[in-house]
Each structure stands twice: as C-alpha cells, then as structure tokens.
Structure 1
Amino acid sequence: MENATHPSYFNLTMFVNIGNYRYPTFVLCLLLYALIISANLVIILIISREKTLHEPMYIFIMCLSINSLWGSAGFFFRFFKDLLSDTHLIPRSACLFQIYVIYTYASYELTLLGIMAYDRYVAVCQPLHYHNKVTSKLVSKLVAFAWIYPAFSVAACVYLASRLPLCGNKIPKIFCANWPVVKLSCVSTVINNLVGMLVSVSTVFLPLAFVLYTYARIFLVCRKRSSEFRGKVIQSCLPHVITFVNYSITVFCDVALSRIDLEALNPFLAVILSLEFVVIPPIVNPLVYGLKLPEIRKIILRMLSCSKSDKQMNR
C-alpha cells in the first residue's frame, strides 16, 4: 500500500520516441542552452560592471536574466538526461524539486514584470518625482519581495502536493508540474486547489492585471503629449512590452496544456508547446533588452569592437 500511495518514481510520458535523432536533438538543445547561458550572462556582467547602468530599470533587467538562468537550469539538466534515455522515470524528490524550481521561475518572472511596469509608470507619468519615489531602498525592497514571496508560496504548494497519497505515477509532460501530480491524488484535493488558486491569483493574475493597468495609464498620458515624447516612451517601454506579451503567451500555453487531454494532441505539438514555456523567455529576454535598449546595445558593440581590435593586434 505504501508503494502504491507514495510512488518512488514518476514517469514522464510525453517524451516522443525519436530513435537515432536523439543525438542531433541533444546537440541542438545543448547549443540552445549554451545560448541561453551566454546571452543572460552577458546582460548580468554588463549591468553589474557598468556603474552608469546601476539604475532601477537595469537592476530589474539583471534580475530577469538571473531568473532565466535559474529556470532554464531547473529544466535542461534533467531534460538532457531524458533525451538520451529509453526510460523517463524521475525520483519523487527530484520531481518535486523540479516543480519548485520551474514554478518559482514562473512566479519570479511575473512579479519582476509587475515591478518593472511600476518603474516605467512612474518614469513616464510622474517623471519629476521618479528619483524621489523609485529610490535604491525601494528597489531593494521590491526585489526582495519579488524573490521571497514566490519562494514561500510555491513551497507551500509543493509541500501539500508531496503529502498526497497518489493512485498513479504518470505525468503527461516532459517536465514535472504541480497540477498533474495533484490530479493523481487518491483523496480530496480541496486544500491543494484553494492554496493553488490563492498563489495563482497573487503571483500570476495580480501582476498581469497591474501591468495592464499601468500601461493603460501610460497610453492615456502619451495621447496628450507630443510625437517626440511618444517616441521616447516607446523606446523605453517596448522591451518590457515585448517581454510581457511573450511571457503571457507562454504562460497561457502552459496553463492550457495542463487543462486538456494531452494524449489527444499530436505528440510533437504537445512537446513543442511544453518547451515554449521554459525555453522561449530565457532566450528572448536578453536579446530584446540587448538589442532594443541603446545603453546596453552600445556597451555590447563597444565590447565587440574591442575584441576585434585585440585580435587584429595579436595578428
């Protein structure tokens, strides 16, 4: 009975049998992960080293890159092993840990996007009070809240899921997720559902609603100002808008996947949609901020030109 209600392993059933293509796929995914690491590390190093970028907006961007490294590590290390394996069994403890990492990654992303929306709102709508309102002390408090609250709220969800007696061990995904584990429960999951709903509202829907509210206010302000002012606002806010829209789409896809019968979908489509949630944002975020924000773009171009000149001198 103990083994039936508390299985030692979970079986990730969405992995497609690709035969000899597993090795090219492994290499491709390894290159993809290397791109994620290098792109986000460049953003982190540039912002941490350049004193001119020690401003709230860039601090938040650096936090996004740190979060991308956290979330992608929680997914890719296990994914690489499963790509080269014929069986896709994951120990119960490892599965619960992966749930914690991926869900905190998702929550951090949304809380940080909400904080960044507030930063852009004050900068555009109350520019004269920006430095008085968005102080280094407030930035520290906001970043601490963005990390600490999701860490404890997600831990509560994972703990409740770990206590459930389960009537199966099959998870229809390519990584561990909380809702599929809860659905395996042999008993009522009312408490899990209530806590999960509270956490979802506070870490997902409230930040999303706040971002929409702030940009509605920014839009109303821009309508009354000059085209030059609107151009500056677009240049400042566009990277955040792209990141927000991109992440909202990936979250929607993941939520939709968790609520439908994945076995009825084309397996390749289901895998691609699952990958989007943990792969696309960590790639898109540093590229968007590196290419769209002139301050970061100038430093990157300067670093590239210096490296080219050094190579020419060595020749």
Structure 2
Amino acid sequence: MINSTRVLYFALLAYFDTGVFKYLYFIIVMSLYMLIVCGNLLLIVVICMNRSLHEPMYLFLCSLFVNELYGSTGLFPFLLVQILSDIHTVSVPFCFLQIFCLYSYGAVEFWTLAIMSYDRYLAICYPLQYNTRMTSNKVAVLIALTWLFPFFEIAVPIFLSSSLQLCGNIINKGFCDNYYVVKLACSDTTVNNIYGLINTCLVIFGPLSLILYTYVKILKVCYSGSKQTRQKAVSTCTPHLASLLNFSFGCSFEILQSRFDMSSVPMMLRIVLSSYFLTCQPIFNPLMYGLQMSKIRSLCKSLIFG
C-alpha cells in the first residue's frame, strides 16, 4: 500500500510524443490563451470604464468574464508547460490547487449564469419594479455569493481527497481531476462519494433549477405580453441561453469521458473533449456578448479605434 504522504507527484498519461509538432501545438494553445485573455480583458475594461454600463446585467457579465480569465489561467499555462515538457508530471500540492481552480471555475460559471437568468426574469416580468428589486447592494451581494459559495463547496471535496491514502499516482488525463484522484485511493471513499453526489446537485442542479424556473416565467410573460416584450426577451436572453447550452455541452463531454470507457476514442480527441468547457466557453462568451449587445459593441469599437 502506498501511503498518501509518499505520493509526491502525479503522472499524466494523456500526453504522447508529438515530435516536432509539439511546437505547433504550443503555438496553437498559446494563441487560444492570448485570444481568451485579450477578449475577456477588453470587455472587462469596457464595462468598468463606462458608467453607462454600470447596470446589473453588465456587472454580472463582468463577473462572468473575470471567471473566464480565472478558469483559463488555471489550465492554459499548465498545458503550455506540459506540451514542451518530456516528463508529464505534476506535484501533489499543485495538482490539488489546479483541481480547486478548475472545479470552482465551473461552479462559479453555473451560478453566475443562474443569477443572470434571475436578473433577466426581473427585468422582463417586473420592468416597473426592476430598479427597486435589483439594487446595487443586491447586485454586490449576488456577485459575492456566486464566488464565495462555490469556493467553499469545492474546498470540502479537495480537503477530503487530500487526506486519502493512495495506491497509485497515474492520472489518465491532460490535467488534474478530483474524480481520478479518488479512483486512486486504497482507503475508504464513502464520504468522498456521498459529498461528491451532494456537491454535484449543488453545482449543477441548483443553478439549472433556478434557470429553468426563471425561463418558464419569462415564457409565460412573453406568451401573454406585447411584441415589444417578446423582442426584449429574445435580444437579452439569446446570448445567455447560447452560453448556457455551450457550457452544458462541454460539461457533458467532461462527465462522459471521465465516467465511461473511452479507450476506443483517439487520445487527441479525448483531450480536446475533456478540455472543451475550459477552452471554448472563455472564447465563446466574449464573442457572443460582444457581438450581440450593441452598446458593448459600439464601446469596444470606440476604445480600439478611437
């Protein structure tokens, strides 16, 4: 039995010898990361610098863009190092730090999308009472909760996993994953499994329930409302729904390839699918909201072109 104190590093098996192509992969991944940083940072600056955008909807968007930077930074620099490295290992403390960053990124993303749907629900269903229901103090509290609550709920499984006794150190993936660490345990994982189920409900089904409730209410108002109400709902809800579907799509890929045997799928495709929600979502959101919302689009143009 290998005691957890003797496991000093984890070996990542999702990498293979790409020869001279590793420099091409490095350039591609670096370009993606720079695109994510520049796109999200541009929109954060635009929202922060223009007082006309200091409204709840745009402040929630700003929080979303900050989370994209947070999540991608937890993955991309690590990937860049691994692509150029000949030895694909990661220390145990860094592995758990990466797990915390990536899992909390996913939780913050879901809860931010849920709060954004609640904001649209108030704006469409209660337009005359919107300013009294969505005050600046309430916005600040909601943004704080979308960050603090996920950080707390993700810290618990990380603590439980770090105390496990491990019988191996091989992770068949391109980055650290708590599910794979727990599978390496040779001690009892009942508590980990129970909390993992509870945590899944909190992170996924909690936000999705709120989103489903708000959109049912929005659809009812649109069905019985005026044409202007329906146009407002479509223009503000379309990018949100697209972002939600894209992120859910990526998370489904991650869950499927983690829980089921995917050995018949090419390794490169498995790496791409497992990191989809960490790569495509941070690119997709700035493009979707930047192109869809005319106010953001015009301010971006004035900032870039003067």
**Normalised TM-score (structure 1):** 0.94
> Structure 2: which amino acid aligns with 1:123?
A
Equivalent residue, structure 2, for 1:227: 227
Residue 167 of structure 1 aligns to a residue whose secondary structure is coil
Tell whether the 8 Å contact from 2:104 to 2:150 is kept in structure 1 after alignment.
yes
Counterpart contact for 2:43–2:65, Cα < 8 Å: yes
- Give the Å deviation of 1:189: 0.8
User: Which residue does 2:247 correspond to in 1?
Assistant: 247
Cα deviation 1:138-193 (Å, max 9, x = unaligned)? 11111111111111111111010000001111111111011110011102211011
- For residues 187-241 of structure 1, the C-alpha deviation after alignment (integer angstroms, 9 at most, x for no partner) is 2211011111222111211101211221121112111123332122111111111
SS of 1:164's partner is coil
- Residue-pair matches, total: 306
Aligned residue for 2:120?
120
Tell me if structure 2 keeps the 8 A contact 1:6–1:165.
no
Q: 1:310 — aligned with what?
A: none
Kept in 1: contact 2:4–2:164 (CA 8 A): no
- Tell me if 1:209 matches 2:209: yes
Q: Which runs of 4+ in 1 moved over 3 A?
A: 1-6
Aligned match of 1:110: 110
Question: Are 2:124 and 2:229, in contact at CA under 8 Å, matched by a contact in 1?
Answer: no
Does residue 1:57 correspond to 2:57, yes or no? yes
8 Å Cα contact 2:75/2:278 also seen in 1: yes
2:167 & 2:2 partners in 1: Cα distance? 11
Q: 277-286 or 5-14: which moved more?
A: 5-14
Which residue number corresponds to residue 101 of structure 2? 101
Tell me, in whole angstroms, the C-alpha distance in 1 between the residues paired with 2:124 and 2:152: 33
Q: Do structure 1's residue 187 and structure 2's residue 187 form an aligned pair? A: yes
Q: What is the CA distance between 1:275 and its match in structure 2?
A: 2.0
Aligned partners of 2:152 and 2:209: how far apart in 1? Answer: 22
Instruction: Provide Cα deviations, 1:41-92, integer angstroms capped at 9, x if missing partner.
Output: 0010000000000011100100011111111111011111100112211001
2:295 corresponds in structure 1 to 295
Deviation at 1:16, TM superposition (A): 3.0
Answer whether contact 1:33 1:76 (CA < 8 A) is retained: yes
Note closer, same or farther for the CA distance 1:4–1:70 as it changes in structure 2 (3 Å cut).
Answer: closer
Residue of structure 2 equivalent to 1:23: 23
- Cα-Cα RMSD: 1.3
| CA shift for structure 1 position 271 | 1.0
| Contact 2:3/2:166 (<8 A) preserved | no
In structure 2, the residue matched to 1:46 is 46
* Aligned-partner SS, 1:242: helix
C-alpha separation in 2, matches of 1:256 and 1:288: 26
- Mapped partners of 1:71, 1:145: distance in 2: 18
Distance in 2, matches of 1:44 and 1:233, equals: 24
User: Residues of 1 paired with 2:291 and 2:6: CA distance?
Assistant: 49
Which is worse superposed, 256-265 or 97-106?
256-265
Distance 1:31 1:262 in 2: 28
Amino acid aligned to 1:246: N
Tell me, yes or no, if the aligned pair for 2:254 and 2:275 is still in contact at 8 Å. no
TM-score, scaled to structure 2: 0.97
Contact 1:40 1:69 in 2 (8 A): yes
Bigger mean CA deviation after superposition, 249-258 or 261-270: 261-270
| Structure 2: distance between partners of 1:37 and 1:165 | 38
SS at 2:128 equivalent? helix
**For structure 1, which segment, 8-17 or 69-78, has the greater mean C-alpha deviation from structure 2 after superposition?**
8-17
* Runs of at least 5 residues in structure 1 that lack an aligned partner in the other structure: 307-315
